[in-house]
Homo-oligomer: A and B are copies of this chain.
Amino acid sequence: MFRPQIKVLDCTIRDGGLANKSQFKLETVRAVYQAACAAGIDYVELGYRNSREMFSPADYGLWRFCDEDDLKRVVEGVDRRGTKISVMQDAHKATAQDVLPKEQSVVDMIRVATYVKDIDKAIRLANSATEKGYEVSINIMAISHAAAPFLDEALQQIEEETKALAVYVVDSFGSLYSETVDFFVKKFQTYLKTKEVGVHMHNNQQLAFANTIEGIIKGANYLDGTLFGLGRAAGNCPLELLLGFLKNPKFNLMPILDVIGQHIIPLQTEIEWGYHVPYMLTGILDKHPDWATKWMATPQKHNYVAFYNQVTELPDQ
């Protein structure tokens, strides 16, 4: 019943890092890594490899930079089994120089996140990583805002100019429904004849898991999830739900359940993620979730009508 081509990637620390400036304790990151290895997850993403010129180390934690020495402290002594490590580079916030040749690194895959407008930067980063010996993906963020002709051109460029293994549909605003997931996965497949399609969904409308299933049904084989959905704002597709659905006997749900109970649930006192009406509204209205995050930090966080009025009065971005 399962499709062996499917690759599951846990990006708890990377996407969750958008909610706490990547300030996870080493102990937490090690626990997540260990659980992913024990569960048979294909990839675990331990953070960003972004530039210190764009992010101050005084403000951001280690996992915004993922120095090799820090990654080594994560993996040391853990039975890695088949689980690979990825880090993400933002096309407009990272440099190729920060990536060592593969043989000097514990990283297996570089995922380049980009807006359509930055596709040339993304391709340069991706190709540099390919030349250095890494697996590579390109993750197209804010897909719901991608203007049609530029998206088509970007996909054509990726197909012709890169050796990316996979290209992801990234629903940054949590605004997609099954019909729009269907549309984007099919469009990606039209252009990407030599690459896999991936899906990275956000949960503003409680559709991250459902939209990931829709992606699977339409043929996407690279799937992102996070532990208990931990991630920016409303969070992501919960990894535990995804494993429950996939039915691949290579996965073991028990280490995932265990690490959620012991390490992720306690984070709820520090990080507020999950379904909240302001996030739902930015999802429905296809706006950046940061508007909701800011609103939720105010004393009138539960005045949803006022927030709706504020967001609908914003100029289109």
Which residues of A approach B to under 8 Å, CB–CB?
A: 177-178, 203, 205-211, 213-214, 217, 228-229, 238, 240-241, 244-245, 253-254, 257-258, 260-262, 265, 274-275, 277, 280-281, 284, 302-305, 308
Contacts and interface: CB of A to CB of B under 8 A. Distances in A.
Contacts of A262: 302
B213 A277 contact: no
Contacts of A208: 206
A178 B213 contact: yes
A241 B205 CA distance: 7
A281 B238 CA distance: 13
B254 A305 contact: yes
Protomer copies? 2
A304 B264 CA distance: 12
Nearest to A261: B302
Contacts of A214: 178
A261 B295 CA distance: 14
A207 B229 CA distance: 14
Nearest to A266: B302
A31 B71 CA distance: 53
Contacts of A228: 277
A284 B244 contact: yes
26 contacts: A177-B245, A178-B178, A178-B213, A178-B214, A206-B206, A206-B208, A207-B209, A207-B210, A210-B210, A210-B211, A228-B277, A229-B275, A241-B280, A241-B284, A244-B284, A253-B308, A254-B305, A254-B308, A257-B277, A257-B281, A258-B304, A258-B305, A260-B304, A261-B303, A262-B302, A265-B302
B261 A304 contact: yes
Contact of A177 (B213, B275, B277): B213
